[in-house]
């Protein structure tokens, strides 16, 4: 029998029916209740003709219904397609048409945008997570209310696609990564075998359309861990939940850690029950790691990506400061290589492209055979990230291959310069890009957001940088702005930054 992630919930409900499973807003579910909801939903969809291989998209904030879809569709072999809810109508339309979703489930906040594009979508059914849906949709609650709670017969899993997650599209049209039951199982096992006992309560503020939030879900059900999710990140509520729900570990991105530091009373928080803060999606500035370590908080930088169902490498608390800037060695069931342009392994501390292998790699990109062939070669995922590995096997991500700046023949990695600038006490945020330069081909430009009430000139910042970084890496041009454009998970939108500041 192939591994089926939907079956995880069925088994956990039998083994631990009364154990608390999910806390999300006002909703509290034990595993038996969670499984009943899941079965009602999937039986409702079966009555609409949804079957193996069909795509069901969801456009919503973090809602309990997300879990119904994830485990319910998994039981019958249908495919969940989470959509980034911060996208504009045409971008949402592109994704739904690309995967040819038969059903769109949407939250109340997105009724207007769905209305604006629905006539150009391939969906046969629209299901609204609201009591009074628009005339073109059915109410989720009404659809599932009288549906049977019987377990569907599971005949799928393994290499079958469970979700299609679309990449952020920072350099063009997003691609749909097909993630399988086996891949999610591989992630569950490698997370648990790497972290060991991390306690029994997870707090997750990230959106479920992102692999950083979705990847831990099967592991939590697999090992009976309680999940506490925020509908959307709220820093004050986040700190409250840490206390009231006895959180033992949480997921984060660097920007969330930055926000938390600004909440009044942060420095008086009791973090004693928190065993781990797992941070991913973007490099964690060294200064931030040190700040949290000073508060007694173990920040563990994880490196991963959608295409490997989440994890690839992670650093432990002991080395987070000693090897600050590293994202650690590979997870228990992953391997890492760093290679040159010809695909040959480079030596210690030499730069190259990062390759990942493991049991959690994607099947490929949806309907993109050429892109799949380029990314997956001989069992290795070519990440497009530039990095180096030290003699101890610790990986350092320097930057995206395509964001590298070449100035006078020197390769410059923006993340290194961003990390330096963020250590300046007057700077709140920054993004570094290349800009055209007649003499050097490209020059370094830093776009900087100052902290409220601070003042700083370009000349002062350039002078401050001298001696801290090689001369050719010091920004030649500096522009000040109010906000750095980022993806919902904190990655800098370098394409947008270049368009905005290289006119």
Inter-residue contact 494 to 400 (CB < 8 Å): yes
Provide the pLDDT for residue 403.
79
| Least confident residue range of 128-137, 148-157, 262-271, 382-391 | 262-271
Closest CA to 170 of 407, 420, 385: 385
- pLDDT confidence of 282, banded at 50, 70, 90? low
Query: In CATH, what number does 5-157 get?
Result: 3.40.50.12780
- 300 vs 13, residue with greater confidence: 13
* pLDDT at residue 170 greater than cutoff 50: no
**Where in the chain are all domains bearing CATH 3.30.300.30?**
404-501
Tokens encoding 274: 């928190």
Residue 392, class by beta-carbon neighbours within 10 Å (0-12 exposed, 13-18 middle, 19+ buried)?
exposed
CA 142 to chain centre: 32
Helices (H) and strands (E) in the chain, counts: 17, 26
Half-sphere exposure of 477 (CA within 13 A, CB side): 12
- Provide the percentage of residues in the chain whose pLDDT is more than 90: 71
Cα Rg, the chain, nearest whole Å: 23
Strand partners, 106: 59, 128
Provide the pLDDT for residue 411.
65
The CATH class of 227-401 is alpha beta
Length of the chain in terms of residues written = 503
- 290 vs 340, residue with greater confidence: 340
CA atoms of 52 and 297, how far apart (whole Å): 45
**Where in the chain are all domains bearing CATH 3.40.50.12780?**
5-157, 227-401
Residue 399, class by beta-carbon neighbours within 10 Å (0-12 exposed, 13-18 middle, 19+ buried)?
buried
If you search the block for the tokens 């490929």, which residue do you land on?
364
* pLDDT at residue 45 greater than cutoff 50: yes
Going through 130-252 in order, the beta strands assigned E by DSSP cover: 138-139, 161-166, 176-180, 201-204, 226-229, 249-252
Inter-residue contact 7 to 218 (CB < 8 Å): no
Strand partners, 251: 278
CA atoms of 86 and 68, how far apart (whole Å): 22
Q: What average pLDDT score do residues 225-233 get?
A: 97
CA quadruple 132, 135, 138, 140: dihedral, nearest 10: -30
Residue 332, class by beta-carbon neighbours within 10 Å (0-12 exposed, 13-18 middle, 19+ buried)?
middle
Provide the pLDDT for residue 21.
98
Inter-residue contact 275 to 269 (CB < 8 Å): no
- Give the DSSP letter of residue 266: G
Q: What does the mean pLDDT of the chain come to?
A: 91
For 406-431, the pLDDT digits (tens) are 776 566 778 878 988 999 999 999 99
CA atoms of 246 and 82, how far apart (whole Å): 29
* pLDDT at residue 341 greater than cutoff 70: yes
* pLDDT at residue 109 greater than cutoff 80: yes
| Least confident residue range of 252-266, 306-320, 335-349 | 252-266
Angle at alpha carbon of residue 39, lines to 33 and 44, rounded to 5°: 130
CA 97 to chain centre: 23
- At 83 the three-state DSSP class reads coil
- Architecture in CATH of 404-501: 2-Layer Sandwich (3.30)
């Amino acid at each position: 029998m192939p591994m089926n992630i939907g079956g995880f919930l069925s088994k956990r409900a039998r083994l631990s029916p009364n154990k608390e499973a999910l806390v999300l807003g006002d909703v509290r579910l034990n595993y038996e209740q969670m499984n009943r909801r899941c079965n009602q939903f999937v039986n409702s969809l079966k009555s609409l003709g949804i079957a193996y291989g069909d795509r069901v998209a969801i456009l919503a904030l973090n809602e309990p219904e997300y879990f119904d879809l994830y485990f319910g569709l998994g039981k019958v072999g249908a495919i969940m397609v989470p959509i980034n809810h911060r996208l504009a109508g045409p971008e949402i339309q592109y994704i739904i048409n690309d995967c040819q979703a038969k059903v769109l489930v949407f939250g109340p906040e997105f009724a207007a945008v769905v209305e604006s594009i629905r006539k150009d979508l391939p969906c046969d059914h629209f299901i609204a997570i609201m009591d009074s849906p628009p005339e073109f949709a059915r109410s989720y609650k009404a659809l599932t209310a009288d549906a049977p709670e019987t377990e569907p017969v599971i005949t799928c899993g393994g290499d079958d696609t469970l979700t299609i997650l679309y990449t952020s599209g920072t350099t063009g049209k997003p691609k749909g990564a097909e993630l399988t039951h086996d891949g999610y199982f591989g992630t569950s096992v490698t997370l648990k075998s790497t972290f060991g006992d991390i306690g029994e309560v997870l707090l997750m503020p990230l959106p479920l359309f992102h692999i950083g939030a979705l990847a831990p879900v099967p592991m939590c059900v697999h090992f009976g861990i309680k999940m506490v999710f925020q509908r959307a990140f709220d820093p004050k509520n986040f700190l409250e939940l840490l206390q009231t729900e006895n959180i033992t570990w949480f997921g984060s991105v660097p920007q969330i850690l930055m926000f938390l530091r600004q909440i009044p009373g942060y420095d008086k928080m009791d973090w004693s029950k928190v065993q781990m803060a797992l941070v991913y999606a973007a490099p964690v500035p060294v200064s931030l790691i040190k700040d949290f370590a000073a508060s007694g908080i173990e920040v563990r930088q994880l490196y991963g990506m959608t295409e490997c169902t989440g994890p690839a490498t992670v650093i432990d608390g002991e080395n987070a400061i000693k090897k600050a800037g590293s994202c650690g060695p590979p997870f228990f069931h992953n391997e890492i290589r760093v290679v040159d342009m010809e695909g040959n392994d480079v030596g210690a501390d030499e730069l190259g492209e990062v390759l990942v292998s493991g049991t959690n790699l994607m099947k490929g990109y949806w309907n993109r055979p050429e892109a799949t062939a380029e990314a997956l070669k001989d069992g290795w995922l070519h990440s497009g990230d530039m990095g180096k590995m030290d003699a101890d096997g610790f990986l350092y991500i320097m930057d995206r291959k395509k964001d590298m700046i070449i100035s006078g023949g020197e390769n410059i990695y923006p993340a290194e310069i961003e990390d330096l600038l963020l250590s300046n006490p007057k700077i709140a945020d920054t993004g570094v890009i290349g800009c055209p330069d007649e003499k050097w081909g490209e020059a370094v430009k830093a776009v900087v957001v100052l902290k409220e009430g601070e003042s700083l000139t370009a000349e002062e910042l350039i002078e401050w940088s001298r001696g801290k970084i090689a001369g050719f890496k010091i920004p030649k041009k500096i522009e000040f702005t109010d906000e750095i454009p980022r993806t919902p998970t904190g990655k800098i939108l370098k394409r947008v930054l270049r368009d905005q500041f290289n006119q």
